[in-house]
Structure 1
Amino acid sequence: MGGVLGKGDSPKCCIIETKLETKMVEAMQRRASEGSSMKSFNRIILKFPKIDESLRKCKDIFQQFDEDANGAIDPQELRRCFHKLEINFTEEEINDLFEACDINDHMGMKFNEFIVLLCLVYLLKEDPTALQTKSRMGMPNLEATFEMLVDAFVFLDKNKDGYVSKSEMIQAINDTTSGELSSGRIALKRFEEMDWDKNGMVNFKEFLFAFTRWVGIDDNEDDEQEDNA
């Protein structure tokens, strides 16, 4: 699968990923210092339907900026999207975000990739080094949903280092299920679904892509495209 970073990938790809990842991790560490309102992994699961419904409302935004209606947003369309939403990122930051979220390397972001990008923008806009000026995305309902996802990640990130480790995932699920025998297997499966590059640590971007799969957004996209074809 494209976009899964490994040791054999090009240095350019890894440099871009590392630069953006550094900003992501620093922003998440600042957010983690404030704590999480989530009390259990079950609370996160219970919020899946509400988050799913909210994210699907992004479809209108996605279609609005997919100007050629080809089912993907290309770099030029993304720049116009940022301009219209008054998101003041530099050209380099927009390019880095695009390359990081275009996981299948097809020079166009599908709907689930666009959702991940918007959520990363939400996280990074609080980072003064990532923005020239503060901006709001102008989507209050969506921002509340993104905050819920940030909160869920912070809950899992017990040591507040900006990553979720396998042991943290196991701890989060064990706390929820009161030591059921299956809980360890569930935790490992969830973790493996998130840890795309198999380095034993999950960053916020990996968590978001796993989340879109858990609520079935990317599956439905493929089905829709097949129906349209």
Structure 2
Amino acid sequence: MKKVPKSDQVPTKPYQPLILRIIHNIQGIMIIMAIITAFWTYNTYDGRFGKISLLPPWEEIEGIHGTFGLFTLLIFPIFVVYVIHRGNKKIIQSNTLNQLKLVNKPIWWYSLHRLTNTLIIFALTFAVFTGKMMDENWLPEGELNHFWYYLHLISLILMVFMIGSHLLMNVKIGNYPLILSMLDAQIREKDSYNLWWQNIIFFQQNWLNIVKTQWDELSPHFKLLEITILFIIISAWLISIIK
């Protein structure tokens, strides 16, 4: 039998856990909609750094942007906890910085992919925090020179760049099947909806031991990453309430 050249082989589509697909896709939709409405808000009330004249002014757009931003913020800690505890092989490892010295070798690309995945989490942390520091009345009242407004604009530019980098690295590492795997409707037995209620009851009865066990199993740098991001998210809520 003639062997198919490696370059002609069709990459296999990896299987992504159902929970990851749900959280990742909802988070992704909220982020994309937040970015689109953020630009429309900027285009309506600001436009000093360039604007699209064909995009009509819409005074209600800032409230819509705030809604998508709020949903992004609410989902974000769930996403962070899941990724660090269940998907930490896809983010920065303790030896990633050393592996990044092996330029153009396969492990270099995988390490770069992990670094990109980690940086997009920090970029989103920056975006939700600066967004929470803003006042919804600033732009409608023409107050365009606030420190937090400028930082939020920068954070949105970073998010666009990081999303693009994230997609490019996925294409490099797993080609189009890796991206399509996040949209796959396939469900394996271990992810069956029939098991969800059973798992919820089990977690409810044993949550303290589960949390303690999972925390003990984390590497120190994962613990630091989780504490840092969750602390920033909680701080954003507390500061916004106090102010």
Question: Whose radius of gyration is greater, 1 or 2?
Answer: 2
TM-score (norm 1): 0.29
Structure number having the greater helix percentage: 2
